[in-house]
Structure 1
Amino acid sequence: MPFRINDIVAIRASVITPVCEDGRMPLRGYLDGFQPSVDASVLVDATSWLDDPLFWPAFLLAPGGSFAAAVAFDADPADVEAYAEEMHQHDSWPVISLDLARGHRLHILFRNFDGDSGWDYLVQPTGSDTAITAAALDGGFHGPALSWSELVKTASRPNVKHGQAERLLLLLPAIGDSGIPPEAHGVVTSAVTAVGATHRQDDVARELLNASHRFWGESDWGERHGLPVCLGGYSPRHSEASLDRLALMAEAFGG
Structure 2
Amino acid sequence: MLADISLWLDDRLFWPAFLLSVGGSDTAAVAFDVDPADVEEYAEQLHHPDSWPFISLPLGGGHGLHILFRNFEDDAGWDYLLQPAGSDTVTTLAALEGCFQGPGLSWPELLVAAGQPDPARSWSERLLLLLPALGDADLPHDADEPIISAFAAVGGLSQQRYKVAHELLTASRRFWGDPTWTEYADRRVRLGRHSPRGPAAPPDRLALIAEALGSGS
Across the two proteins, how many residue pairs are aligned to each other?
214
Unpaired runs of 5+ in structure 1?
1-41
More strand, by proportion: 2
Letter aligned with residue 252 of structure 1: A
Question: 1:6 is matched with which residue?
Answer: none
Equivalent residue for 1:196, pick from 148, 152, 155: 155
Per the alignment, residue 49 of structure 1 pairs with 8
Judged with a 3 Å threshold, the aligned counterparts in structure 2 of structure 1 residues 225 and 160 are, in CA distance, closer, same or farther, namely farther
Give, in angstroms, the shift of residue 105 of structure 1: 0.2
Q: Residue 246 of structure 1 corresponds to which residue in structure 2?
A: 206
Q: Deviations over 1:180-208 (max 9, x none)?
A: 11121011001000000123111100000
CA positional deviation for 1:254:
1.6
Q: Which amino acid aligns with 1:166?
A: E
Q: Distance in 2 between matches of 1:68 and 1:76?
A: 13
In the superposition, the TM-score normalised over structure 2's length comes to 0.96
Cα RMSD between the aligned structures? 1.1
1:128 to 87, 98, 114: 87
Using the TM superposition, give the Cα deviation of residue 78 of structure 1 relative to its aligned residue in structure 2, in angstroms.
Answer: 1.5
**Counterparts of 1:160 and 1:175 in 2: how far apart (Å)?**
23
Is the contact made by 1:154 and 1:254 (CA closer than 8 Å) also made in structure 2?
A: yes
| 72, 88, 92: which one aligns with 1:113 | 72
Question: 1:59, 1:141 → 2: CA distance?
Answer: 19
Alpha carbons 1:99, 1:160 under 8 Å: kept: no
Aligned to 2:169: 209
Deviates more, 1:241-250 or 1:74-83: 74-83
Q: Which amino acid aligns with 2:36?
A: P
Larger Rg: 1
Instruction: Please say if residues 55 and 83 of structure 1, whose CA atoms lie closer than 8 Å, have aligned partners that are also in contact.
Output: yes
Alignment map for 1:67-82 (pairs within 5 Å): 67-82=26-41
Task: Tell me what 2:191 maps to.
Answer: 231
SS in 2 for 1:151: helix
Please give the TM-score of this superposition, normalised by the length of structure 1: 0.82
Alignment of 1:168-187 (within 5 A): 168-187=127-146
Runs of 4+ in 1 over 4 A off after TM superposition: none
The range that moved more, 112-121 or 93-102, is 112-121
Equivalence for 1:11: none
1:81 deviation in Å? 0.7
- Aligned 1:4-153 pairs, distance under 5 A: 42-153=1-112
% identical aligned pairs: 58
